[in-house]
Homo-oligomer: A and B are copies of this chain.
Amino acid sequence: MPAPEQSKAPALADVTRGRILFGGDYNPEQWPEETWPEDVRLMKDAGVNSVTLGVFSWAKLEPRPGERDFGWLDRLMDLMHDNGIGVVLATPTSSPPPWLGRLHPETLPRDEDGRTEWWGGRQHFSHSSAAYRSWAAAITEDLAARYADHPALTLWHINNEYCTYDWGDEAAARFRDWLRERYGSLDVLNSAWGTAFWSQGYGDWAEALPPRHAHYLKNPTQVLDFKRFTSDMLLECYVAERDIVRRHTPHIPVTTNFMPLWAGQDAWRWAGEEDVVSADLYPDPRDPFGAQHAALVQDMTRSQARGPWMLMEQAAGPVNWRGVNHPKPRGLNRLWSLQAVARGADAVCYFQWRQSRQGAEKFHSGMVSHAGEEGRTFQEVKRLGAELAAIGSAVTDSHLTADIAVLHDWHSWWAGAHEGRLSTRVDYTDVLTSWHRALWRSHLTTDFAHPEHDLSPYKLVVVPQLYALTDTAIDNLFSYVRDGGTLVCGFLTGVADQDDRVRPGGMDPRLRELFGIHTLHEWWPLDEGEWAETDRFRGTLWSEEIEAAGGVTAEATYNGGELDGLPAVLRNGCAWYVSTLPEPDALRALLARIAADAGARPVLDGLPDQVEAVRRGDLLFLLHHGRESVTVKLPGTHHDLLTGAAVADELTLGRYGVAVLRS
């Protein structure tokens, strides 16, 4: 079959067509078929217009090797279509049936201790297994062929939450291929890995291994490359399936769902291989900064998508994988769903439609909980469905703009996480979250960007921590500042190159020059409960013994202790360096000041602390994260799309209240 001619790549807008997608994973194969009409009735009642089918259906579709049972799925696809509900169709390759592990034990991953991951849970497949890939391709091929022309099909969902590692023998062979591809020669590998240290010189490719259990600290670059390799192998799995479905349906977009800020995938690279970027998002209802965590993931996903994105999974109530799993209080599901829309989502979907009665996730909530139609959960879902329908045409396919970019890079994260670092208290995602939180609390809208991206659209570039930076990235930062941009960097930035080789002086010399650091004498990590006092604030987690270059301003100075009198925050023109983690209020004030100097403005002035404001397209979203009513000053007249009411000069938001305003 000749490849069909391809015009424009399909996109999320082809799926939404002016409606916010609303729905979720639908696993009716877990229920008697008599339940299906009841499901459809409730879906229509709730305004569901999209369901995801088939995520974990491999054993159902292929109950024995090579057999096919599509009948039940045919009926479901027809049923959905007949009721005007679009289908996100998943390849079922995330969890192979038991027969695959039995037939091909080598498809089961091994961990670094050599333990096998058996079937009985999920995702027990090795990304490196030729057998797995071959069986996965076969079922994907047949699935795509069968439903290519089905009118219910709107979007392909490849696999699910790619997240597996493998230290086994087949993975080792693939790792060697990957290394050979990356380095070309063993000399280059030996240099990159620094194998002169601890007698690790490789004389034969066959000696290279995944970083398995070792007596003491492992080679950091071997570990780093293994993470790169893992992301790449998973991506190969994705691409292989994507290419199959794309061949059958070039007009149907393809996605796979990311886990929120998950360490295992370089999502910048992955996003480039998707038509639609989608993510799962499960903030803890008890986390006082759950909304900010959500905003961070939403900002990052939107930045990866470079526009509207899809919230593929969230929970209508509790999850079941925390120690204690709390339900969502009344109104929170609505609030957080609308927050996602505010931050660029054109789809609000759940895991899952109907809460399971059996299996490992039967205490994970669904849109229809165990309590059923009368349960509070479904009643709230229903209300939300109506509201999303009301605002859909006004919001879909519209964009956000941000003056600020926060830089993030998986490779730097991976490199910085080595077990042999100076402080295990320094956790990259904690630092990233702290900085994003400071900006979020200042009502500043932020994108995320890769350190090699074009930064010129931004007035301010924020680097919470980028331990490892390529030369290109350093050039990029340098040019950005040279061309008038404002840059603020946190500690442990620019320490290493892409091979995790420490740069001369412990921090790249050009960066030191940029910030006015003459000598970085010593890093002074801080203990739990330890503070570094400055004349402006208290620092936590880290401090540094820095000798500033002449003429460079210390914007804050350490006070007392071994670092007394040394600079804590350096400013060299528009380049700022923050050598500690200021306490939350101090970091907020510092970044707000730098942003203001750079000309980056909050969405609204004078907002109450618990109210989040986001502009998307021509709409202003106000999201109240508190339980007590607040009043927001809002000059001029607006129209609230949710209530239909006019809003003049001020607006009162009740518990978890939301307004979607057009001026």
Chain A interface residues toward B at CB < 8 A: 27, 29-30, 56-60, 63-64, 92, 94-99, 101-102, 109, 113-124, 164, 193-204, 206-209, 211-222, 286, 317-318, 320-321, 323-327, 329-330, 356-364, 369-372, 374-377, 418-425, 499-502, 504-506, 519-528, 545, 562
A114-B115, A119-B209 known; A98 and B202 CB under 8 Å?
Answer: yes
Q: A198-B95, A501-B358 are in contact. Are A520 and B204 (CB under 8 A)?
A: no
List B contacts of A217 (CB < 8 A): 121-122, 321, 360-361
The smallest beta-carbon distance between A358 and chain B, in angstroms, is 3
Q: Taking the nearest CB of chain B, how far is it from the CB of A539, in angstroms?
A: 15
Closest chain B residue, CB of each to CB of A58: B199
List 14 A-B residue pairs with CB atoms under 8 Å apart, sorted by A's residue number.
A30-B196, A97-B199, A98-B209, A119-B207, A120-B222, A121-B219, A197-B360, A197-B361, A217-B361, A321-B420, A326-B524, A356-B502, A362-B502, A369-B522
C-alpha gap A64/B318 in the complex (Å): 57
**Further pairs besides A324-B425, A363-B420: 11, Cβ < 8 Å:** A97-B203, A98-B201, A114-B116, A122-B216, A194-B357, A286-B527, A323-B423, A324-B526, A329-B562, A360-B419, A377-B521
Which listed residue, B118, B196, B212, B418, touches A120 by the CB 8 Å rule? Answer: B212
When all copies of this chain in the complex are counted, the total is: 3
CB pair A358–B502 under 8 Å, yes or no, is: yes
Residues of B contacting A420 with CB < 8 Å? Answer: 320-321, 360-364
Chain B residues in 8 Å Cβ range of A201: 59-60, 63, 97-98
Tell me which residues across on chain B come within 8 A of A209, comparing CB atoms.
Answer: 98, 118-120
Residues of B within 8 A of A60 (CB): 196, 199, 201
Contact B524 A327 (CB under 8 A): yes
CA distance A443 to B118 in the complex (A): 50
Once A220-B360, A370-B505, A506-B371 are accepted as A-B contacts, the answer to whether A98 and B200 lie under 8 Å apart by CB is yes
Contact residues in B for A521 (Cβ distance below 8 Å): 369, 371, 375-377
Chain B residues with Cβ under 8 A from A57's Cβ? 199
9 pairs of A and B residues whose beta carbons are closest in the complex:
A194-B358, A197-B359, A121-B214, A59-B201, A370-B506, A217-B360, A98-B207, A118-B212, A327-B522
Is the beta-carbon distance between B372 and A505 smaller than 8 angstroms? Answer: yes
Q: Which of B96, B195, B326, B423 contacts A324 (CB 8 A)?
A: B423
In Å, the complex CA distance between A122 and B199 comes to 8
Nearest CB to that of A329 among chain B residues?
A: B562
Given contact pairs A98-B207, A321-B217, A370 touches B120 in the complex (Cβ within 8 A): no
Quick one: closest B residue to A374, CB to CB?
Answer: B519
Residue of chain B at shortest CB distance from A542: B324
Contacts A204-B102, A323-B425, A330-B562 hold; do A116 and B199 have CB atoms under 8 A apart? Answer: no
- With both chains docked as a complex, state the minimum distance between the C-beta of A428 and any C-beta of chain B, in angstroms: 16
Smallest CB–CB gap between A457 and chain B, Å?
A: 35
Inside 8 A of A320's CB, which chain B residues have their CB?
Answer: 420-422
A160 to chain B, nearest CB (A): 10
Beyond A209-B120, A214-B120, whether A99 also contacts B204 by CB under 8 A is yes
Bound: A422/B95 CA distance, A: 24
Please measure, in the bound complex, the distance between the C-alpha atom of A521 and the C-alpha atom of B376, giving whole angstroms: 6
Looking at the assembled complex, report how far the CB atom of A525 sits from the nearest CB atom of chain B, in whole angstroms: 5
Provide the bound-state CA to CA distance between A375 and B200, in Å: 30
Q: Which residues of B contact A215 (CB under 8 A)?
A: 109, 117, 121-124, 164
* Contact (Cβ within 8 A) A359 B117: no
Q: Which of chain B's residues have a CB closer than 8 A to the CB of A499?
A: 358
